[in-house]
Structure 1
Amino acid sequence: MTSLLHTLRHHADEVSCCSFSPSLLATCSGDKTLRVYNTADFSELPFSPLSGHGYGVHCCCFSSCGRHLLSCSTDGSAIVWHAGTGEVAAVLVHPARSPLRACAVAPDSSLVLAGACDGTAALWDFPSKALRRCSAVSESSVAACCFSPCGQMFVTGCTRGDLKLWDTDVSLLHVEKDAHDLGVACCSFAPQFKVADGHRVEFRLASCGQDSRLTIRVVSRRDGADWGMKLLHTFTSQVSPVLSCAFSCDGELLVSGSVDKSVAIYDANRGSLLHTLKQHDGYVTTVALSPTAPRIATGSMDRTVNVWGIGEEVGGTAAESKQTVCQGRKLPGHRSLLVADWSEEDVHTWLCEEGLQELAGIFEANNIDGAELDQLNGETAAELRIESVGLRGRLLRKIRALRAEQSGPDGPDEFLCPITRELMKDPVIAADGYSYERESIQSWIKGKNQTSPMTNLVLQTTLLTPNRSLKMAITRWTSSK
């Protein structure tokens, strides 16, 4: 079921973390660098490695759309990088310059979180990059942190062994004392949540630590009650401290890496061990799963990163891999984004959909993302050395049609509330995954409509999450009119 596809050997020191976006794999190391790879063939991008930290890099992660990469270091800073170019977008410095051990980006890209060795957690506003709050959350070093899938809470894990649940104002919601004896090493929420009986919201939280255990807890709350945690599964197949854990994008699998040099793959629902991988020669310090493909990346103190395929055979060429992307995989939701917000992989998928596959190599070589595509004209198309006049004309016609498709007289369709069909001022995400004007969806729900306006299915929860990235895009569009 699981096969080794690639081994990356570019870091000069232990690999501390790895992270997937829809089209990229990022890794970081004690050698002070980050490296970025294309997931189509796992070739390193031209601007890699990224060098900006003064000491070893402990953690890295992508924003949910994949446009930004976040890293944190012993130097007390978190750096926001443009994932498509490798340029520094911002340097976020901890107020006390305390070494940062873990970092995370909120699902809606509204906040950046970092846990520090002095027991504090720092929160920055992601759009403005301004420090929002730096608060003491532990008496010991914060070794792990993660946001809930709704983005309204986060969890911290410390070297003392406690797990703590906080809201985004850093108000304590729940404490799980001694969750892991001798310390928490990593924590991760499953991407999905559910409503158990119409009133009880449930999340699944995985955590691991120095006690050689990996656990899944149910984090839940009934209307009006306090938050709580209940132990669901405890995994003990790895015989040494477990250093990293991560859920698959569908929440079905849970993967962990251990000091015993093994990688364990579990059925997260049944709580059963599926596979154990033992190809690393050192401690397995990090694991990550791709959001768009059956891939696992594992990093180790042996300085390597292994990329595994789930349910795949070893072999196949890069060309075959790209053909599979064109014919079989469509990035979820890329059509619902503004063209300017598309990743390079979104552009690649669009080219394939429009019968322009022969341009994919040119676009990839020039790192053409959505912003570049949106600005493309006859002059820039010629600069890309698209020599065929017919092909160049077809490309420009497709781009004009794409712009017309995404922008009507009242604005792009995704800027309009599905209920009122008016431009949104305060967009929020409902449980069905769609964005609505806050006032409109609240009125819909108060009118005892417990079903989605878009799918007609029952809304699992009335929880509404601010869609700040969409609000910013609407503001930009309005200002440009």
Structure 2
Amino acid sequence: MVSLMCTLHTHRDDVNCCVFSGSLLATCSADKTICVFCAGDFSEMPFSPLSGHGYGVHCCCFSPCGRYLASCSTDATTLLWDMETGEIEAVLEHPGRSPVRVCAFSPDSSYLMSGGSDGSTALWDFTSRTLHKSGSVSDTSIVACSFTPCSQLFITGSSYGDLRLWDLDMNHLHAEKNAHDLGVSCCQFAPQMKKDADGCVQFRLASCGQDSLLKIWIVSRVSSADVKMQLAHTLTAQSAPVLSCAYSADGQMLVSGSVDKTVTVYQANEGILLYTLNQHDRYVTACAFSPTGPIIATGSMDKSVNIWRVEDGASAHGKSPDESASVSSNEGSRFRAHSRLMVSQWSEEDVLSWLREEGLEAVMDAFRSNNMDGEELLSLTKETLSSDLHIESLGVRSKVMKKIEELKMSSVCNGTPDEYLCPITREIMRDPVIAADGYSYEREAIESWINTKNRTSPMTNLPLQTTLLTPNRTLKMAICRWTTNQ
């Protein structure tokens, strides 16, 4: 039996990843934030949300001890967060300044791996926070990665469809070509490994992809240079691309999420379908098992994270979750518009009125003395709240930043046409321009992207044939008419 425990509504855009430590749950989103919850009662931590990335956050992962959280983003960085304070502990810039799609810690905490949209792979020495080795695969994006339980090997999955095994010196040991037609979405090693009398070590690997399949592989390492992969099971319970997969801590169960909006739970060794869960309204993009109990977290493009409990005795095939289960909901606060102006057009009095409505009276004097208007409000960070406004309490700074992020995303929640939002910043465009890929962007955002991202398209990851930007006057007029009528 599987029951829905609660639903978390803290993100304002697609949820891209969710991951557990022993005591915490972290989720990251296209809204540029990472939210952190207590894994006991799923209350949000005082320092959450974490706001340090300039663009959407694709992936996050905990260090094995749970003290640190790594997150990676389109902004070409992997950030390390201290989970005791919520502060940034280190910034790792990806080689070549490519957008970072995925990151993973080695089980022994020695290394952190990150993969880029240009096919590059960076292996970081976690102790020194320095680059250990780097490599690349041409004409593809690295979208998945996982370390073996022994921490001596890691695997990468690409948008081209290959799975590739590497050692810690970035020697390429094995390539499983076309493991998933149209591209790999996710891959993860089971936590356990086996060793036979001849010294051959075996690992189990789950992978999923755009071919709507979830596959289980046996990876055998006969010697340091001799590695083989054999397909054990092909699972076909989902009818659309499978975007995520994860093993339970004991390796006995496997969960996956799909574009068909379903979550499937399998008995991992034999690939037997146990449950199909149907509570999400859009694509299921992320899933994770808790390491301390039979709890599953699933994230979706519907902006929610569902928390499920897997009860003992799960043996029936293909059952749906318990219909009588009690479902609670953490709706999260929504921005209550007090002005019909865009936030960037707010006066100082508008800002003060907003602070009062959101219960932030404690910081009103600091904002008043600094003459903060709407444009300055949107540019605030945790650091400037401390250094410029002298707000010392971390909890208060986190609360203010959470409300500001809600402001930035409120246009999405309040029905702003998607074509009025810049694909990079997800904010209403003021000076839209058309790039060589045919998409419209905020001029400042795409110029910054071109200057730092090797002239690739933010939407397709393909090279831009020219850096010429053409003003989109028709779109600008449409946005002006729409904002005037709001």
**TM-score range with shorter-chain normalisation?**
0.5 to 0.7
Q: 1:121: how far off?
A: 0.2
2:90 and 2:76 map into 1 onto residues whose CA distance is: 14
Distance 1:8 1:222 in 2: 45
Instruction: Sort the Cα spacing of 1:138 and 1:296 in 2 relative to 1 into closer, same or farther, 3 A.
Output: farther
Deviation of residue 44 (structure 1)? 0.2
State yes or no: 1:206 paired with 2:183: no
Aligned to 1:107: 107
Q: Is the 8 A contact 1:144 1:185 kept in 2?
A: yes
2:415 aligns with none
Task: Output the CA distance in 1 between the equivalents of 2:268 and 2:197.
Answer: 21
Q: Given residue 202 of structure 2, which amino acid in structure 1 is its aligned partner?
A: E
Secondary structure of 1:50 counterpart: coil
Q: Which moved more, 1:6-15 or 1:83-92?
A: 83-92
Deviations 1:316-352 (A, max 9, x none): 99xxxxxxxxxxxxxxxxxxxxxxxxxxxxxxxxxxx
Shift of 1:309: 0.4
Structure 1 residue 220 displacement after superposition:
0.1
Once the two structures are superposed, the pairs formed by residues 179-194 of structure 1 within 5 Å of their partners are 179-194=179-194
Match of 1:75 in 2: 75
Find out whether 1:292 has 2:292 as its counterpart: yes
Distance 1:63 1:220 in 2: 26
What is the rounded CA distance, in whole Å, between the counterparts of 1:161 and 1:134 in structure 2? 21
Contact 1:157-1:185 within 8 A present in 2 as well: yes
Give the equivalent residue in structure 1 for 2:280: 280
Match of 1:59? 59
Question: What code does the residue aligned with 1:240 have?
Answer: A
Q: Which residue of 1 aligns with 2:151?
A: 151
Distance 2:243 2:224 in 1: 36
Partner of 2:175: 175
Following TM superposition, by how much is the alpha carbon of 1:162 offset from its aligned partner in structure 2, in angstroms? Answer: 0.3
Aligned to 2:398: none
One-letter amino acid of the structure 1 residue matched with residue 279 of structure 2: Q
Determine if contact 2:6/2:327 at 8 Å carries over to the other structure.
no
User: 1 CA distance for matches of 2:102 and 2:166?
Assistant: 16
| Aligned residue-pair number | 317
Which structure 2 residues correspond to residues 392-411 of structure 1 after superposition, within 5 A?
Answer: none
Q: d(CA) in 2 for partners of 1:225 and 1:30?
A: 39
For residues 230 and 69 of structure 2, the distance between their equivalents in structure 1, rounded to whole angstroms, comes to 33
- Taking the aligned partners of 2:226 and 2:14, their CA distance within structure 1 comes to 41
Per-residue CA deviation, residues 383-439 of structure 1 (Å, 9 max, x unaligned), is xxxxxxxxxxxxxxxxxxxxxxxxxxxxxxxxxxxxxxxxxxxxxxxxxxxxxxxxx
Partner of 1:38: 38
- TM-score relative to the length of structure 2: 0.64
Once residues 166 and 49 of structure 2 are traced to their aligned partners in structure 1, the CA distance between those partners, rounded to angstroms, is 35
Amino acid at match of 1:17: C
User: Residues 291 and 138 (structure 1 numbering): CA distance in 2 closer, same or farther, change over 3 Å?
Assistant: farther
Aligned pair 1:9/2:9, yes or no? yes
Relative to structure 1, the CA distance from residue 154 to residue 47 in structure 2 (aligned partners, 3 Å threshold; closer, same or farther) is same
State the SS of the aligned residue for 2:60: strand
3-state SS of 1:157 partner: strand
Q: Does 1:22 align with 2:22?
A: yes
Structure 2 counterpart of 1:135: 135
Distance 1:288 1:294 in 2: 11
- Secondary structure at the aligned position of 2:86 is classed as coil
Q: 1:13 to 1:173 in 2, by over 3 A?
A: same
SS in 2 for 1:234: strand
- Correspondence for 1:116: 116
Aligned to 2:49: 49
Partner of 2:431: none
Say whether the 8 Å CA contact 1:138–1:158 is kept in structure 2: no
The answer as to whether partners of 1:77 and 1:92 remain within 8 angstroms in 2 is: yes
Following TM superposition, by how much is the alpha carbon of 1:39 offset from its aligned partner in structure 2, in angstroms? 1.1
Rounded to whole Å, the distance in 2 between the matches of 1:221 and 1:56 is: 37
Q: Which residue of 1 is the match for residue 334 of structure 2? A: none
Aligned residue for 2:236?
236
In 2, the alpha carbon distance for the partners of 1:145 and 1:27 equals: 18
Three-state SS of the structure 1 residue aligned to 2:25 is strand
Provide the rounded CA distance (Å) in 1 between the counterparts of 2:179 and 2:139.
15
Partner of 1:468: none
Q: Encode CA deviations 1:136-175: one digit per residue, 9 max, x unaligned.
A: 1343011111111111110000010000000011100111
2:4–2:326 CA contact under 8 A, matched in 1: no
Q: Is the 8 A contact 1:243 1:257 kept in 2?
A: yes
RMSD (CA atoms): 1.5
Partners of 2:154 and 2:277 lie apart in 1 by: 31
> Can you list the C-alpha shifts for 1:101-147, whole angstroms capped at 9, x where unaligned?
00001111111100101101011110110111221134301111111
Question: Are the equivalent residues in 1 in contact too, given 2:142–2:157 (CA < 8 A)?
Answer: yes
Letter in 2 for 1:140: T
TM-score, L = length of structure 1 = 0.64
Distance 1:197 1:232, change over 3 A: farther
Give the match for residue 423 of structure 1.
none
Task: Show structure 1 runs of 4+ deviating over 4 A.
Answer: 312-317
- Structure 1: which 5+ runs fail to align? 318-481
**Who is 2:309 aligned against?**
309
Q: How far apart are the structure 2 equivalents of 1:246 and 1:138?
A: 27
Q: Give the superposition deviation at 1:315.
A: 5.5
Correspondence for 1:86: 86
Matched residue SS, 1:250 = coil
Give the Å deviation of 1:74.
0.2
Cα deviation 1:283-316 (Å, max 9, x = unaligned): 0000000000110000000000000001078569
Tell me how far apart the structure 2 counterparts of residues 46 and 263 of structure 1 sit (CA, whole Å).
30
Cα offsets for 1:366-387 (capped at 9, x unmatched): xxxxxxxxxxxxxxxxxxxxxx
Q: Name the structure 2 match of 1:331.
A: none
Q: 1:257 and 1:316 mapped to 2: Cα distance?
A: 20
Q: 1:199, 1:222 within 8 Å by CA — same for their partners in 2?
A: yes
In structure 1, how many angstroms separate the alpha carbons of the residues matched to 2:223 and 2:68? 35
The CA distance in 2 between the partners of 1:160 and 1:153, in whole Å, is 21
